[in-house]
Amino acid sequence: MFFSSRGSLIVAGILFLAGCACFYFYWRDSDSAKREKTTVGIVTYVSGGKSASVYYRFKIDGVVLNGGGDACRTALTSKGCAVGAPVLVYFDHNPALVTRLEDFRDASYHDWFTGFGMVFGGLLITVMHFLSRSKLYGLDSQDEEEDSSEGPAEVLHITPNN
């Protein structure tokens, strides 16, 4: 059974770590939402199918920069996020430049729910691991064998000959 194996604890640990990473991104994005600014950019490349990565070019203070990400929710025309279409770029430049094609507040909500789901899943797997190894599921056969012995064991007394 999966839950009684060490693999379940490894999966739970990975979920905990990934959830902590999502909580870090939640904190970073919610902090950036307080200082976010916007500029208009142009989509330069779209890769992938349904879960496409969108690459874009934009200017901040006359400097041309490139960015990319998985979400494109800020198309400014009916062309959507096709190559050559204008998009609204959200950015925060404190301490390093972070850019998105979605509002930082919306991204932080997504990160929080994803992190919560991963940590909750890791917790459930951990609980199931320990429950599957307990007497509730009857998998701890060594304890059952010890409990099934009848009465106390005979004690052998050895005395020296006088």
Q: Pull the structure tokens for residue 36.
A: 């976010």
Q: Tell me the one-letter amino acid at 32.
A: S
Helix (H, G, I), strand (E, B) or coil at 114: helix
pLDDT score at 103? 92
Residues 102, 88: Cα–Cα separation, whole Å: 8
Give me the phi and psi of 54, to 5 degrees please: -115, 130
33: CB partners within 8 A, 6+ apart: 103, 104, 105, 108
Residues 41, 58: Cα–Cα separation, whole Å: 4
Q: Pull the structure tokens for residue 37.
A: 């600014």
Q: What is the crossing angle of helices 104-132 and 6-33, to 10°?
A: 160
pLDDT score at 140? 47
First to last CA, the chain: 60
Length of the chain: 162
Bridge partners (DSSP) of residue 56 are: 43, 67
Q: What is the pTM of this model?
A: 0.71
pLDDT in tens, the chain (162 residues): 788 888 999 999 999 999 999 999 999 999 999 999 999 999 999 987 667 899 999 999 999 999 998 888 889 999 888 899 999 999 998 788 999 999 999 999 999 999 999 999 999 999 998 888 875 555 445 545 555 556 566 777 677 776
